């Protein structure tokens, strides 16, 4: 990074007009720019700029020490925004059509309001601190940024934190991305705004009655204030600023099977074959570590991105056989390389290795410098030649993307990277690693959407099709419970794709009393699988005990049957899930929706982190205790609800005790919902959606948009897709199926919709509805009176 003369940067960038604001203490010069202001206060140069009507950037540096910041997360450039300026005494007022920003040039205080004058957030007077610091020989600072919130204001985000808390008020966190801990310096308020402090260093988050603060290492304090009025609006601003989430292929929403590890190509291939023989749906098998040669039984060839000739004698045929079984293959790759790999030798020769030991221990493996653009390209060159273009795999498992740090020493954090000391950029490691692979894969082959499973994350990573999993969590009821609020806070950072190892990773303590046949472990696994059914990725994985369904018993035993029921439910919901994925991509939507997203006006939702809406209609309340057959579920005020399994109709604003047999997860459907159900299949694309069941849940008006495309590739970005909008009028009991919009190769031109309607309090098995009308549809408007 380079220090530049501030005056040359600033005056080239903007044509400034100076005016004076006077107060009793002193005269502060405020320079008015086209979309903001610049001034000096409290020993800092401060620049405020509207990026959009809803996004304001605040950039602070020590006075006279300019710094040219290049963001790793922010992809948006400022848009032209009409900003009104006014001066009232010592206060300068900036206003767009949605936000007001008041600036106190004497104290450096900055206050955000909506246009009606409602207080949103205050950047604390005298709340920014720069403390000089020698950062591995480079002059730098410890930077602290403080804010003032209302006393009872609920906030969310900060990261995936395993403390079983949802509301992040009155908490402190060491923000250092590691296995199971994934942070970004960001928080969202229930008041409808968020702050992203654009800093990648090992940092601190602290909220107490005096202030909320971020503290980290850097040359500037750089944050973005985003106003969206509600959580959906905030997430739309986050994606506008740091990148939209691309569509994942349809198969990525099917069932994934994995374990640590399949030792040979035949072992994993036979797993797919057995699922097909049992007629249990499966879309993906994953190959974990050590498929590469093991030199002298050591790990010196760790992550060579090549295949052992004895255990994987014909990897291309292996991948082809998996594809012939209509399944997909993900391959693991790591950021660290053993000392005898070609990659390591090249990276070492070009000084592109960060010289600390990474996984596995005592192997000599070390991570590459992801902050160097050339290193990202070199990494892909080997990965593409050794795997992607060689065998044609379908996606990547990026393990250890924090990365793992073995035998760590304080001095390791001072090691150089392309962008400065390791400690100054550590938390963005996963972001850059994911970026290098996703961007390069698309350059190589646009026929396959990038699918990445990764163990860490940072704001902006949603741009690369990444799905973060919660890390190597232990198999316990307590840990299952912690997954839910951790996931919800993570997705409120604008990163929609998240999952966990179904059953938990470390399961060794369950080996007593039968392992996979231990009744408590079986129930834990089933309950975790039910939760996984309603996550963006449904993936079984772990060590110590194998996780394939037949290891738990045979068909006809409760554990086998409960798993099969959950997997079949996932596949029947694929039209709903894939349409939701379009909403996530096209409208900046969210898969896992904490209740505050849709029911913020109900204060009881502000601290509820153990249930959520999956998409717009399905309320999910995972069971996280052993032998529990009644589970309390809060039904938010503002809607009425149907028990998915019984059709019982209940009013919102109450907690209900829900019967929850071991094969049923508590699910409630919001009144006014329209849900499409797909055919029974063995993999996601086995059958066309030409005869869908459309379930209507009366009690309110509603609508649903059914999305379809070619199921993979990026042609949807060229408008090669179709949508069909369904509208329910509750008063007239009329379903309107509007004209289909759009087209793509292979579109279904003629189809049937089987219409079913929920009958209040009609007790039934939720897997079956009575069809009351079948409608033929050729893409033209159809109105159905029910």
The label of the residue with tokens 């050339």 reads 374
C-alpha dist (Å) from residue 28 to 123, 149, 165, 681: 19, 27, 44, 70
Supply 92's token pair. 């300068």
Supply 505's token pair. 């990773």
Calpha distance 186→156 (Å, rounded): 9
Name the β-bridge partners of 754. 693, 774
Calpha distance 92→39 (Å, rounded): 11
Calpha distance 183→175 (Å, rounded): 6
DSSP 615: T
Are the beta carbons of 525 and 503 closer than 8 angstroms?
yes
Residue 8 — φ and ψ, nearest 5°? -65, -40
**DSSP H or E stretch at residue 654:** strand 654-659
Q: Which of 712, 734, 735, 739 is nearest to 724 (CA)?
A: 739
| Residue from 402, 501, 611, 693 carrying the catalytic annotation | 402
Query: Is 222 labeled as catalytic in the residue annotation?
Result: no
Query: Is 765 labeled as catalytic in the residue annotation?
Result: no
Calpha distance 311→415 (Å, rounded): 38
| Residue from 222, 399, 501, 548 carrying the catalytic annotation | 399
Residue 582 — φ and ψ, nearest 5°? -65, -40
Sequence-ordered list of residues with C-beta below 8 angstroms from that of 166, at least 6 positions apart, any chain: 156, 485, 488, 489, 594, 607, 608, 609, 610
Calpha distance 566→283 (Å, rounded): 15
Burial class (CB in 10 A: 0-12, 13-18, 19+), 77: exposed
Query: Is 501 labeled as catalytic in the residue annotation?
Result: no
Number of residues in the chain = 786
Q: Which of 445, 53, 378, 21 is nearest to 233 (CA)?
A: 53
Is the alpha carbon torsion for 401, 402, 403, 404 positive or negative? negative
Is 659 in a helix, a strand, or coil? Answer: strand
Task: Characterize 282-296 residue by residue with b for buried, 16 or more Cβ atoms within 10 angstroms of its Cβ, and e for exposed.
Answer: bbbbbbbbbbbbbee
Calpha distance 784→786 (Å, rounded): 6
State the alpha helices, DSSP H only, in 503-557: 519-533
Are the beta carbons of 268 and 276 closer than 8 angstroms?
no
Task: Determine the Cα angle at 206 with ends 205 and 211, to 5°.
Answer: 130
Are the beta carbons of 578 and 250 closer than 8 angstroms?
yes
| Residue from 472, 602, 693, 709 carrying the catalytic annotation | 472
User: How many CB atoms neighbour CB 5 within 10 A?
Assistant: 9
Calpha distance 366→406 (Å, rounded): 10
Residues marked active site are found at 399, 402, 472
């Amino acid at each position: 990074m380079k220090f530049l003369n501030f005056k040359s940067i600033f005056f080239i960038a903007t044509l400034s007009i100076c005016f004076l604001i006077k107060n009793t203490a002193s005269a502060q010069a405020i320079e008015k720019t086209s979309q903001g202001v610049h001034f000096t206060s409290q020993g800092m140069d401060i620049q405020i700029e509207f990026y959009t009507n809803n996004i304001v950037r605040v950039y602070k540096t020590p006075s006279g020490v300019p710094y040219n910041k290049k963001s790793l997360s922010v992809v948006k450039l400022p848009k032209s925004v009409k900003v009104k300026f006014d001066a009232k005494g010592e206060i300068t007022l900036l206003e767009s059509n949605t936000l007001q920003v008041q600036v106190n040039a004497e104290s450096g205080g900055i206050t955000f309001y909506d246009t009606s004058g409602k207080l949103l957030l205050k950047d604390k007077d005298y709340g920014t601190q720069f403390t000089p610091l020698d950062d591995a020989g480079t002059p730098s600072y410890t930077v602290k940024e403080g804010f003032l919130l209302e006393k009872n204001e609920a906030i969310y985000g900060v990261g995936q934190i395993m403390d079983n808390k949802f509301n992040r008020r009155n908490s402190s966190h060491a923000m250092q991305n590691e296995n199971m801990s994934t942070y970004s310096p960001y928080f969202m308020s229930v008041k409808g705004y968020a702050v992203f402090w654009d800093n990648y260093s090992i940092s601190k988050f602290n909220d107490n009655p005096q202030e909320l603060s971020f503290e980290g290492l850097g040359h500037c304090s750089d944050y973005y204030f985003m106003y969206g009025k509600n959580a959906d609006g905030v997430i739309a601003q986050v994606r506008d600023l740091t990148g939209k989430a691309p569509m994942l292929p349809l198969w990525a929403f099917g069932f994934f099977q994995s374990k640590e590890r399949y030792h040979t190509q035949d072992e994993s291939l036979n797993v797919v074959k057995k699922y097909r023989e049992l007629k249990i749906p499966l879309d993906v098998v994953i190959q974990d570590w050590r498929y590469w040669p093991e030199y002298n039984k050591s790990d010196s060839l760790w992550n060579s991105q090549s295949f052992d000739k004895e255990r994987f004698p014909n990897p291309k045929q292996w991948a082809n056989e998996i594809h012939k079984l209509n399944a997909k293959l993900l391959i693991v790759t790591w950021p660290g390389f053993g000392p005898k790999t070609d990659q390591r030798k090249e990276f070492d020769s070009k000084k592109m290795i960060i010289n600390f030991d990474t996984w596995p221990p005592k192997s000599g493996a070390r991570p590459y410098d992801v902050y160097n653009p050339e290193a990202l390209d070199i990494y892909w060159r080997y990965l593409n030649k050794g795997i992607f273009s060689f065998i044609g795999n379908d996606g990547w498992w990026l393990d250890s993307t924090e990365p793992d740090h073995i035998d760590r020493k304080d001095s390791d954090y001072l090691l150089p990277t392309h962008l400065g000391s390791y400690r100054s950029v550590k938390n963005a490691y996963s972001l850059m690693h994911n970026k290098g692979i996703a961007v390069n894969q698309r350059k190589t082959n646009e026929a396959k959407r990038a699918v990445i499973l990764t163990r860490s994350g940072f704001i902006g990573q949603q741009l690369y099709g990444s799905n973060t999993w919660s890390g190597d969590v232990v198999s316990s009821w307590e840990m299952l419970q912690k997954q839910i609020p951790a996931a919800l806070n993570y997705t409120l950072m604008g990163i929609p794709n998240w999952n966990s190892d179904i059953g938990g990773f470390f399961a060794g303590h369950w080996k007593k009393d039968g392992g996979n046949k231990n009744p408590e472990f079986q129930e834990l696994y089933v309950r975790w699988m039910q939760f996984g059914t309603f996550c963006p990725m449904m993936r079984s994985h772990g060590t110590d005990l194998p996780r394939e369904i037949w290891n738990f018993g045979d068909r006809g035993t409760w554990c086998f049957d409960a798993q099969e029921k959950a997997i079949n439910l996932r596949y029947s919901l694929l039209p709903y899930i894939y349409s939701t994925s379009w909403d996530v991509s096209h409208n900046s939507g969210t898969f896992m929706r904490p209740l505050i997203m849709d029911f913020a006006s109900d204060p009881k939702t502000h601290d509820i982190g153990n249930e959520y809406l999956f998409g717009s209609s399905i309320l999910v309340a995972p069971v996280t205790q052993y032998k529990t057959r009644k589970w309390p579920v809060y039904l938010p005020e503002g809607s009425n609800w149907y028990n998915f399994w019984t059709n019982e109709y209940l009013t919102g604003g109450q907690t209900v005790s829900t019967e929850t047999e071991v094969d049923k997860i508590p699910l409630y459907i919001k009144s006014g919902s329209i849900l499409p159900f797909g055919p029974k299949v063995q993999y996601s694309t086995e059958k066309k959606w030409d005869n869908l069941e459309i379930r209507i849940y009366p009690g309110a008006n509603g609508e649903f948009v059914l999305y379809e495309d070619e199921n993979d590739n990026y042609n949807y970005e060229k408008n090669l897709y179709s949508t069909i909008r369904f509208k329910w009028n509750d008063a007239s009991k009329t379903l309107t199926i509007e004209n289909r919009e759009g087209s793509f190769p292979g579109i279904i031109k003629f189809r049937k919709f089987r219409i079913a309607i929920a009958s209040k309090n009609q007790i039934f098995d939720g897997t079956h509805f009575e069809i009351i009308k079948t409608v033929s549809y050729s893409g033209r408007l159809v109105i159905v009176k029910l």
